Copies of this chain bind each other. A is one copy, B any other.
Amino acid sequence: MRILAERADIIPQLAEVFRTFGYEGTSLSRITERTGLGKGSLYHFFPGGKEEMASAVLADIDDWFEREVFTPLLRETPENGLAGMWKAVRCYFQSGGRICLVGAFALDGTRDRFAAGIAGYFGRWTGALTTTLVRAGWTDRAAEDAARDAVLGIQGALVLARAMNDPALFSGAVDRLEARLRQPAPSR
C-alpha cells in the first residue's frame, strides 16, 4: 500500500479549491494549504501547473457525469435513465450546497482556456438527454428544447441558490424541472 499521495487522491481536493475560489482566485499557496501538498508534489503530478490541475479536475468531473448520468441515460430505459439523472444531480450538487465548476468556468475569462472541455460537457449532457426524451416519445424539436431547459435550469438553480444563500431553492427548482420532463407530450 502506498502512504504517499497519488494523483487521483488529489483531484477531488483540487476540485473543492477551484469550486470555492474560482480559477483565478485559486493560488498555489491556497492549494498547498488545502491539500497539504507542497509545490514539489504538485508539480510532480501536474507538470503543467495550475492549468493542468484545473484541466484534470474538469476531466474528472466529465468522467463522473459520463459514467453516472450520460451513459445510463442512453443505455437504460428512458424512465430509469431520467430517474438516475435526477438522483445523481441532487447528490452531486449536494442539494444546492455545491456549485457546478464547469458552469462557473463558463462565465468568465476562464472559459477560453477550457472552451472545448466545457462545451463538450454541456453538449454531451443535452445530447444524451435529447435522445432519451425522443426515445420516451417526444418529438425531436420538443425534446431538444426540453433537454436544454432542464440542463440550463439546473445551472440557473445553482446560481440562484448560491446567490440567495438558500440551498432549498435548488431542491425546489429541481423538483419542478423533473416534473416537467415527466409529461411525455409537452402541453404548450
Q: How far is the CA of A188 from the CA of B183 in the complex (A)?
A: 9
Interface stretch (choices A3-11, A80-88, A168-176): A168-176
> Is the beta-carbon distance between A159 and B156 smaller than 8 angstroms?
yes
Q: A153 CB to closest chain B CB, in angstroms?
A: 6
Please tell me which stretch of A47-55, A62-70, A115-123, A130-138 contacts chain B, meaning at least 4 of its Cβ atoms lie within 8 angstroms of it.
Answer: A115-123
Q: Residues of B contacting A20 with CB < 8 Å? A: 108-109
**Cβ of A90 under 8 Å from chain B:** no
What are the interface flags for A1-45 relative to B under an 8 Å C-beta threshold, 1 for contact and 0 otherwise? 000000000000000000111111100000000000000000000
Kindly identify which residue among B22, B118, B159, B164 contacts A163, using a CB–CB cutoff of 8 Å.
Answer: B118
Which of these, B22, B104, B149, B183, contacts A153 with CB under 8 Å? B149
Q: How many residues of A contact B (CB 8 A)?
A: 49
A57 at the interface (CB under 8 A from B): no
Q: Does A128 contact B (CB under 8 A)?
A: no
Considering only CB atoms, which chain B residue lies closest to A146 in the complex? B176
CA distance A152 to B183 in the complex (A): 21
- The verdict on A152 contacting B145 (CB below 8 Å), with A22-B108, A163-B119 known, is no
Quick check: is A106 within 8 A (CB to CB) of the other chain?
yes
Neighbouring B residues of A152 by C-beta, 8 Å: 153, 156-157, 159-160, 173
Cβ distance A86 to chain B, nearest Cβ, rounded Å: 16
| Chain B residues closer than 8 Å to A188, beta-carbon distance | 179-180, 183
Q: Could you give 8 example pairs across A and B, Cβ below 8 Å?
A: A21-B24, A22-B25, A22-B107, A122-B164, A123-B164, A148-B169, A155-B155, A155-B160
Interface residues of A (CB under 8 A from B): 19-25, 99, 102-104, 106-111, 115, 118-119, 121-123, 145, 148-149, 151-160, 162-165, 169, 172-173, 176, 179-180, 183, 187-188
